[in-house]
Amino acid sequence: MPHSLYATDTDLTADNLLRLPAEFGCPVWVYDAQIIRRQIAQLSQFDVVRFAQKACSNIHILRLMREQGVKVDSVSLGEIERALAAGYDPQQNPEDIVFTADLIDDATLDRVKALQIPVNAGSIDMLSQLGEVSPGHRVWLRVNPGFGHGHSQKTKYWR
C-alpha cells in the first residue's frame, strides 16, 4: 500500500526527504526500517518468507530482513558473500540462503559445496555439475512448464 509522505507514523516524510539531496547528493535511496518490518509482518502467515536479493542487495536491508526471520535467495557468488556478511549462516540455519540459477561457475560451486547451501537448480547440466562434486547435496528443482519468457532457449523450455 502506498505510504503518504505527510503521514506522521514514520520518519519518511516530505520534509525529511527534501533535505536529503542537499546532504547526500542525488541520486539517493531511502528506506524506512519501520515500513520494511511492517511489510514483513504482513507475510508472517507464510511458513517461509524468502527475499530475492537481486531486488535489493543493500547489506543493511539484508541484515534487517535477517533479524525479522526472512530467508534469502542468491543468484551469484557475490550475493552469497553479501548474505554471509549480513549475518546469514547456512551452517547454523541450513535454509537461510538458497542458491538459484540455471548455470554455476566453479568458484560458486566450490562455495555452495563448502557451505552446503541448498541449490534451486534450473537445468539438468547444473544438477550434473553439483552431483559430481557434492553427491547427496540438497537441491530444489525449478520446473518450467514450457511457456513464458527466458534468457535462452536452453533454459526457457525443459524437455
Q: In Å, how far from its chain's centre is CA 117?
A: 13
Residue 152 has pLDDT above 50, yes or no: yes
What pLDDT sits at residue 58?
94
Between the alpha carbon of residue 11 and those of residues 59, 119, 124, the distances in Å are 21, 39, 48
Domain ranges of the chain: 10-42, 48-156
Cα–Cα distance, 28 to 84 (Å, whole number): 25
Q: What is the mean pLDDT of residues 106-112?
A: 97
Q: Can you say whether residue 76 is alpha, beta or left, with left for phi > 0 and alpha for psi between -120 and 50 degrees?
A: beta
Computed over every residue of the chain, the mean pLDDT equals 88
Q: What is the pLDDT of residues 49-84, one digit of tens each?
A: 999 999 998 999 999 999 999 999 999 999 999 999
Residues 6+ apart with CB under 8 A from 113: 130, 133, 134, 137
Residue-wise pLDDT for 111-141, tens only, equals 999 999 999 998 889 999 999 999 999 999 8
Which CATH topology does 48-156 take? TIM Barrel (3.20.20)
> Does residue 154 or residue 50 have the better pLDDT?
50
Q: Indicate whether 159 pLDDT > 50.
A: no
Say if residue 147's pLDDT is above 70: no
What would the mean pLDDT of 43-49 be, rounded to a whole number? Answer: 93
> Which amino acid is located at 15 in the chain?
D
**Residue of 4 and 88 predicted with greater confidence:** 88
Indicate whether 158 pLDDT > 60.
no
Distance of CA 20 to the CA centre of its chain: 28
- Residue 42 in 3-state DSSP? helix
Q: 37-49 as b/e, with b when 16 or more CB fall inside 10 Å?
A: eeebeeeeeeeee
Q: Which residue has the higher pLDDT, 46 or 157?
A: 46
